[in-house]
Structure 1
Amino acid sequence: HTYKKSQNVEIYHKQDCKKCHIGCEPYRVERLICSICKTQPCTCTAEERRARHNDPNKPHRSDLCHKCRSGFPCHG
């Protein structure tokens, strides 16, 4: 799940609870750990960052993700 924080704007999408299927906001937002350099924040070069660091083996519950359900899928 991706949560984006910028200077004055915080953008995130709700996700349904696996048990009750009610949309919930994240209770904690953390920076993502880069899957390539394994650091937080990412220390990869700009060229390495252009090639997205998505893990295709990680399961994504698009049925619970409000971003995917709103027509903006997380995975292309």
Structure 2
Amino acid sequence: MSDESNSTRALRPNPTPPAPTDWLNTDETAGQLGLKPKTLINMRSLGTGPVYHKIGAKVWYRGRDIIAYTNSRRFMGTGLRDES
């Protein structure tokens, strides 16, 4: 048995990115980013997370927006944004 707890394992980003045309809900998007859903909800409120779509009471994220968000968060070192 591993020393790693289930909660730590659950916060790892999903290594398989979504297809650009996929639509994911908050829980699925949080899983893709290695976040708790509550963290993603807070980021959405602050305007610091990926672009989302609200249709009625439902919130949806497009795969291409999740990919764009993760690409915008690339850094080569402390404070050095990767421009590639």
Under a length normalisation based on structure 2, what TM-score does the superposition of the two structures give? 0.23
Structure with more of its chain in strand, by fraction: 2
